[in-house]
Every structure is written in structure tokens, then in C-alpha cells.
Structure 1
Amino acid sequence: MEKHQYAAPDMSGWQGRIDSTENYAAFRWHQWMKGWDLRQAAAPQPGKLGIALVGFCCDEGIKRNKGREGASLGPLSIRKELANVPCAFSQDVTLVDAGNILCQDGDLVASQNALAEAVSRIRRAGFFPIVLGGGHETALGHYRGQAAALRETYGKAELGIINFDAHFDLRPLPESGSSGTMFRQIAQDAAALDEAFKYFCLGIQRSSNTLELFNEAKRRGVQYVLAGEVAARKDDDVIDRLDAFMQDTEHIHLTLCADVVSSAFAPGVSSAQPMGLQPEDILKFLKHILRSNKVVGFDIAEVSPRFDRDNATSRLAMVLIFGVVDALCRLKGLAR
């Protein structure tokens, strides 16, 4: 990674309430979090479960997609909310902050490549990456890093995507990518390497996608659930469709755009959705997907403090990340 594309973790931001300096049962994340400069040769030991946070401080994709900029500050805001989260897991869990990928010069491709390199490094060290966006162009760099790590191990990346999103993000890219093109770019990557493109999108809004995008999704074999189907409490049907998709792939990249959530709970996003999903439904489906034990990484994108109210969206991101980590710990018997 080039120096101007990466910033080592600033551990001074990890601070908050301290109930005890000795009793681990009273610890919060800021007391357990360690820093990891990805440019250093030595990596920390992940223990029985290693979780690595890395930020993608980028608005360039949103800017190109004509959205509301501000998500580049999302990683900082989410970390502040995570600082006081309780350590609801055993001391066999390792938490590290692996710093931030930057996009200061508008070179989105270089920044996405740097994120891919960071994710691949994190995976090789045995950690589960949680990427904090940034615009949802985050997903392309994250996917490429996961795919590279899988190819190193298995020779081919069998990697399905489950995306919580109001949008397909399958738009054409005549010149360059944006926060609306990532999954078309991933499909092109897969085709070039003779790999399958497996994509499931949960939370699609009919009012936010053109008919051509629905046609494109059909052409590419994309599976999806409309937000209205979730609102109609068709939980069993959604679970069955998720299970069928997960059964058909060995590894899962889990990604979430905050604009999938109702704006009553997530006002601080690039494109607000008044009829978006309820947080309880999202968390329920996230935990079900994680119980498959196939998820290799999670990213959350488009948390924009600029448009937030009382940090509601950042706090929601915190709750979802806590839920992801808790589900991973429960899989390994490390939850307390």
C-alpha cells in the first residue's frame, strides 16, 4: 500500500468509560483493542478468534454516483460508538484496529486496490475483517481482497455475496466505477477468471431501481428480496431463499449499505429510505447468515455523520457490528 493511501491506526481515539482496570468482565472494547499497522511485517496472533477493523475513508464513489457525500467520516464515527461496547466474549478473542484506507486524491481505483490488499493481508493473518465504509464502493475492494486470499488457498474463489441494500448497484460503468457499480464490476471480475457470480440482495426498493436494473439483475442470475416482502413478514420464505443460496456456495461475503434501513433509524446515509427495513429484521437475518459458518468478512457502508441525528446511524452500525461479532463468538463457544 502506498503511504498516501493508508493511515496506521490512531489508538488515541479508543477511549471511554472504565469500570475496572483489572476485572475483565467489566472491560469495554476500548480497553481490549490493539493497534496493527498493516505495513509492518509481523502480524499479531489472532487467538481462537481474531477480529480486525479497517476503515475505508472514501466519498469518491458517492460523489460519482451523485449521492450525498459525507461517508468518509463514517469509520471515525463508528469507532467512537464501538469504544464503549462491552467485551461480551472470552479473553481468547483478539480485537485489532488495522487503520484506514484513504482516498485523498480522487483515485478510487487505487484506494479500492489498497483496501483489497489490506483485506487479503488481514485474512492471511487469520483474522476476520470488518470493513467500515465509506461509500458502498467499499464492497469492491473488500470482495477483491477476499477473492485473492481464497485463490491463494484454493486456486479459485468460490465466494457468494449477500448484500443488504435498497439498490442493486449493477449500474453501467462506461468510464469508471462508483458506489452504484460495484456488483457489475465483481461480475466482470468473475467472468474474466471463469468464476461464478453469486449475488443475493435483500431489501431492494422498487422505487429506487429502474426497470433496466431489474432486467440486468435477471440477466446475471441475481437473487433478491424486496423490502416490501420483509415488511409483509414473509420471514420463512426469506430464510428458505437465503438457505438455498448459502448452500450453493462455500464462502460468503456479507455487505450492508446503511440506506437499506428505514430513515427513522438511519437518517445519516447517502440516500435515505423512509420505507426501509427495520433494524430488528436486519439483525435477525444477519445472525442467521452468520450461523452458516461460511461468512469470511463483513462490511458496512454509507454511514454519513454529516446527515446523522444524535449519532443514531453510527449507533445502529455499532449495534449491527456488535451482533456480528457476538454471532461469530457464539459459533466458537467464546461468547460470555
Structure 2
Amino acid sequence: MAILVKSTAGGQAVRRPAFRRGNGDRVFRLLATAAGITLLAIMAAIAVFLVAEAIPALRANTANFLTELTWQPNAAEPVFGIGALAFGTLLSSFLALVMATPVAVGVALFISHYAPRRLAVVLGYVVDLLAAVPSVVYGLWGATFLVPFIVEPSRFLNRYLGWIPLFGGDTVVGRSMFTASIVLAIMILPIIAAISREVFLQVPRAHEEAALALGATRWEMIKMVVLPFGRPGVISAAMLGLGRAMGETIAVALIFPATFTVSFQILGPTGNSIAANIANGFGEATDLGRGALIASGLVLFLITLAVNMAARLIVARRAAYARAVA
């Protein structure tokens, strides 16, 4: 296919090939499909590897892998289970999410709707930089500064709020579930804040101005327009932060007391996680021990997958409202 184009010099018409739009669409569709298939193939390969490496250890295990609290895969009769590790992973990540999400949403609202533009730009860069800080830096900060500092606040909580199961117990230490949860909350806060900020900035300006024109205060406008519009994005951001908290390794490995007990008393010397246990035990593990650690990694993989699927379902329930106000 060709078209006629007049030259500016001689006035003669020359033939030049026209751009074939169909070929470009076909190539882009093939590339996009290949990218999606590659992602699924990588996830499937990871799952197959974890299952293949975990089966020998699970067969040699003499206890129930899902409920056993002991972790002794290198013993003459291997006894190990994921019960305490899964409990610690879920509890510490949930506490971190509870602490980080309100602060992150507040930071995002301040940057998007309250701060002057110059200050908002600076704060936006700071939040993005915090999200890029390596986890080992957070872990070293937590182990050297937060662990000794948190002892007195923990004693205060134990003394006056000890009737709450989370803050109860007879022993208060710095290396605890509470300290690890604080470090995880600080780590996931920039991720939640950055994504929430971008979501809040996408709220239609006309809707905000309409609410203000009807006499709403700024807070009422945010409550009636901004927060409902951004709820799916905030949920997605929170679930992304939860995924990082559950998979965090080095930071919590430096702080957790590495015990294998199930306890809701977060101020005492109890707590561990799947990722921290893998980091602490992989170097000295035997072949069977490495298989056990890989099996625990498979459980973490499945938990993360389940959390992401649940988040997708929650966001999908809000999709109708998001489309309506867009």
C-alpha cells in the first residue's frame, strides 16, 4: 500500500509506503501475550521447584508439618512443623499493617490535599526514597537503636495495658514480636503512602469542587469524595505492603528472638517468622534441613498467593463504584 506525497521542490509526486497499523497492533498483542505467559511460567516453575525440593523432607518428617511447633529437621528422627513460624509471620505482618496503614493514608492525604505544592513535591521524594532503603539498613537500625529503646515503652504498655492479651505477660524484652512489628511497619509505610498518594491525586477535580461548592468542608469533601474513590487503591497498597512484610527476611532475622512458640503476648521473648527462620538456618542446615526450609518457603508462597487473591476479590467488589465516579 502506498500514498502520494508532493515534494516541495519539484512539485513531483513520489510514492512512499504508508504505515501499516494492523502489523503494529499484532506485534504489540503478541509481545503482551508473551509477557503474561512468561510471568505465569515463572510462577509455575517456582512452585514446581519448591514442591520437588520439599517432598523428600516432608516424607522424612515424623510430625505433622502444618501443626507441629518444634523445628528439629537435623535430628536423628526429624521433627519439624510450620505452626509457630506461620503464626509469627501472620501476627507480625498484621500488626505492622495495622500500625502502618493509618499513618500512610494520613501522609498521602497531606501530600495530595493539604501541603503546599513545593512542600508536597519534597515530601513525595522523601517517601519514595524511604521505599528504596535496603531492608538490612532497617534491620541494623532496629537491632542497634530500637531494641534497647523500646524496653521502657514496652514496660509502660505491660504495666497499664497488661489486661489486654497482646500486652500481657510477666517478661518484657527488647527483642520481641512488638519490636519486629514496628520495624516492619516502618518498612511498608512508604510503599502504602506512595501508592495511596497517587490514587488520591487521580480523584476527579470536578467532584471535589462540586462537594466544596455545596458547602462541604475540606475534611467532609475528603470523607465523601476522596476516600471512597481511593478505597480500592488503598486496599491494593495495603496488600502490597502486607506481602512485603510477610516476606521480609534480614530485618526481622536481626530482631526476632527466634523461638518456636505460639503466644499472643507480643512484649515477651517469643516470636519468629518463616523468612527469618530460613535466613538463620539455611547456612548450617543439612540436605534434609534445607528441604524442610524450602517446604516452609512453599507455605509462605501459598500464604502470599492467598492474601493477594483475597485482595483482588476485595478490590473487585469496589470496582463498580470506582468506575461510576471516574
Whether TM exceeds 0.5 here: the answer is: no
Find the structure with the greater CA-based Rg: 2
Tell which has more relative contact order, 1 or 2 (C-alpha 8 A, sep 6+). 2
**Larger fraction in strand:** 1
TM-score tier, shorter chain, comes to under 0.3
